[in-house]
Structure 1
Amino acid sequence: MTALAGCSTSSNNADNTASSTSATTQETESTKTEQTQTEKALALIDTFATGDTDIAKELLAEDYIQHNLAYGTGRDAFIGSVEYLASADEKTTVENIRAFEDGDKVLLQTVYNFAGAGEQVAFDIFRFDNEGKIAEHWDNLAAKAEPNPSGHTQIDGTMEVTDLDKTEENRKLVEDFLYDVMQGNNLDKTPDYFDGDTYIQHNTGIADGVSGLNEALAALAEQNIQMIYTTTHQVLAQGNFVLAVSEGTFGDKPTAYYDLWRVENGKIAEHWDVMETIADKSTWQNQNGKF
């Protein structure tokens, strides 16, 4: 009996160990696959630096929709870009600065240097489908510049996401600001959106303060250059950060505006942006449109 009991105990221990090992393995595998949307988006852009096409293939939906007009649409086209960068003489670098999530979309602010072509500051938006695959992409890019008149760069400044309970309130504030001020429908309301002259500016050519913005717009007007916002296509928000994707013109050229605002105590407090001229349709590598 003792021997049998001993054998029985040993068998149970072995079974328990095997069961525990199996459960641990399953848990480890589950942990590996259960990435957040933000983690997936970051892993995807990192393939530009690593050249890992297997990761790109795993993350992307086959019918991936591309709105960067310089590239073809679809998963295979993206993988082709990764392969091209991997074959380049100079390595591509990817430095993510900020990352936010809003529903099925992830927003990334990143500094890229594609195969040594020079540093670019970018906003990327990735949409996820119901299966957790990256299904669509929009972006705006601009060359990295020297600090602006107030000494700020395109990427420094506040990093922390706060006020998650105010996400929708802050989204509405920016939507109203776009309509009233940026689209010029109620310019007399401009002071309502700011705490006096307090406004930290990261635009490469504009100084801090509402006064700095007004001075820059006046200088453009003297050169007969207008910055016009006509349509807002997306407004993404997480806590105190709100990104707006708008369409308009700058100096009569069709322009995509990506504006990231930080809201503090119900007022617009800080601003980052990337403006990009929309390429002529004859040069488009896909027909999905910029927006």
Structure 2
Amino acid sequence: MNAVILVSFALFASVFAITGDECLTRYQTEEDNLKLVLSFYDEAFGQHNITAVDKYISSDYIQHNPHVGDGQQPLKDFLVPFNAIKTKGPVDIRHTAVSGDIVWLHLKTTGFNGEPLAIVDIFRVKDGKIVEHWDVIQEVPTLSQSKNSHPMF
């Protein structure tokens, strides 16, 4: 382990009054949660593998997007037409973050009408499965439409 990680563990442990072992366990859990969400996203959205839902999504999955119902089947029902408009390949994930059981992905994609979209997907992971999902979706304007000169990506 490099010195930066060890110093980070020490600072985290001192701020939250946990042992080094507890800190390492939390770090490993967060890494596992991030890998799980990234694997799901790649398989479901990048490779168009609908069975990824069975592998990564809990049977009592809670969905906060108002256009998709709770559970595995409504997510599969969403993926079929969504993936039909996309080509298989890498998902354009620009940023990730994780804290405990919550994983965030910031990505660029296109919507049903071909419009470019910026999305923040938020997942809650429990016992090795995705159990809850929120998202925030925004159309990406051209720079000429933007009130500032900062691109979204």
CA distance in 1, matches of 2:93, 2:76: 22
Given that 1:234 and 1:245 are in contact with CA atoms closer than 8 Å, whether structure 2 keeps it comes out as: yes
Which residue, 216, 233, 239 being the options, matches 2:94?
Answer: 233
Specify the alignment match of 1:98 in structure 2. Answer: none
Shift of 1:210: 1.3
Q: Which runs of 5+ in 1 are unaligned?
A: 1-102, 104-162
Q: Give the fraction of aligned pairs with identical amino acids, expressed as a percent.
A: 29
2:131 is paired with a residue whose SS is strand
> Superposed, which structure 2 residues align to 1:6-45 within 5 Å?
none
User: What are the superposed Cα offsets for residues 157-199 of structure 1, whole Å, 9 maximum, x if unpaired?
Assistant: xxxxxx844111101111111211122354443321123x321
Question: Tell me, what secondary structure is at the counterpart of 1:281?
Answer: coil
Instruction: Check whether the contact 2:50–2:79 (CA below 8 A) recurs between aligned residues.
Output: no
2:130 maps to: 268
RMSD: 2.8
Higher relative contact order (CA 8 A, sep 6+): 2
| CA shift for structure 1 position 282 | 1.4
- Which structure 2 residue ranges, 5 or more long, are not aligned? 1-7, 9-24
Greater Cα radius of gyration, structure 1 or 2: 1
**Contact map agreement 2:41 2:91 (CA 8 A) in 1:** no
The two structures have a TM-score, normalised by structure 1, of: 0.39
Closer, same or farther: CA 189–201 of 1 in aligned 2, 3 Å: closer
Q: Deviations over 1:98-148 (max 9, x none)?
A: xxxxx9xxxxxxxxxxxxxxxxxxxxxxxxxxxxxxxxxxxxxxxxxxxxx
Q: Which residue of 2 aligns with 1:167?
A: 30
Q: Report the equivalent of 2:144.
A: 282
Q: Secondary structure at the match of 1:169?
A: helix
Is structure 2 residue 103 aligned with structure 1 residue 245? no
3-state DSSP class of the match of 2:60?
Answer: coil
Letter in 2 for 1:276: Q
Residues 123 and 133, structure 2, Cα contact 8 Å, conserved in 1:
yes
Paired residues of 1:245 and 1:257 also in contact (CA < 8 A): yes
2: distance between equivalents of 1:174 and 1:180?
A: 10
Q: Give 1:227 deviation, angstroms.
A: 7.0
Q: Secondary structure at the match of 2:91?
A: strand
Q: How does 1:81-100 map to 2 (within 5 A)?
A: none
Contact 1:164–1:238 (8 Å) recurs in 2: no
Contact 2:125/2:132 (<8 A) preserved: yes
Q: Is the 8 A contact 1:227 1:250 kept in 2?
A: no
User: Does residue 1:190 correspond to 2:59, yes or no?
Assistant: no
Q: Tell me the amino acid that sits aligned with residue 250 of structure 1.
A: G
Aligned residues: 126
C-alpha displacement of 1:283: 1.1
The one-letter amino acid of 1:194's match is: I
What displacement does 1:278 show? 0.6
Provide the rounded CA distance (Å) in 2 between the counterparts of 1:267 and 1:258: 19
Shift of 1:234: 0.8
